[in-house]
Amino acid sequence: MNSLTQPEAGTQTTYYTLAESPLGSLLFMGDGVSLTGLHFAGHDHAPAIGEGWIEDRRQLAPAVRQLAEYFAGQRSSFDLRLDLRGTPFQLRVWEALLRIPWGETRSYREVALEIGRPSAYRAVGGAVGSNPVSIVVPCHRVIGAGGQLVGYGWGLDRKRWLLAHEGVHMDSREPRRSEPA
């Protein structure tokens, strides 16, 4: 299971590597111990490779391997250490996302209820959109209250693909859930 922790002060080195996926080239980022970012390379929301970043696939090999297994249909959960930078609210939302099982979805409202902030569903949407480790922290599993496909920084086509890969077909507008809305 993923372990989500706040980064320690003074950890500045960023390792990175690129790897291909069925949806495009992925940019993996880490600090030598944990995965700190996963983005589509060159996408508007992806960070630019910074001066001083070190390209080192070996540092990120477990994440690259596990994502390849996910895309090959051989993995439905991840076992990676994550160091994510965010507010306490964002961290609570991201932890809730980690609890959404493969093949299931939740609405923004359901996530807000889960974290004890029932009226904060719009703020939940902002936190979901700020997720620095997409797929591993499965923000693609969050949908609109009526079961509609809404909002995804990487584009709705990629979100639809990821959900279909996990067995959720949004065309039916009847996403699978473990509990009623």
Q: How confident is the model over 35-66, as pLDDT tens digits? A: 999 998 877 778 888 889 999 999 999 999 99
Pick from 11, 137, 165, 154: nearest CA to 63: 137
CA distance 9 to 2: 21
CB 128 within 8 A of CB 142: yes
Mean pLDDT of the chain: 88
pTM here?
0.85
CB 80 within 8 A of CB 62: yes
- Tokens standing for 46? 């992806």
Sign of CA dihedral 160, 164, 167, 173: positive
Domain boundaries, given as residue ranges, for the chain: 3-82, 87-172
Structural class in CATH, domain 3-82: alpha beta
pLDDT digits (tens, 9 = 90+) for 147-156: 888 888 888 9
What CA–CA distances, in Å, run from 111 to 125, 141, 164, 176?
A: 9, 11, 21, 15
Give catalytic residues, as residue numbers: 139
Residue 97: count of CB within 10 angstroms of its CB: 25
Percent of the chain exceeding pLDDT 70 equals 88
DSSP letter at 80?
-
Could you identify the residue written with the tokens 């630019």? 48
Confidence of residue 181 (pLDDT cuts 50, 70, 90): very low
Q: What is the mean pLDDT of residues 88-102?
A: 97
CATH of 87-172, one of 3.40.630.10, 1.10.10.10, 3.40.50.10800, 3.30.70.2740: 1.10.10.10
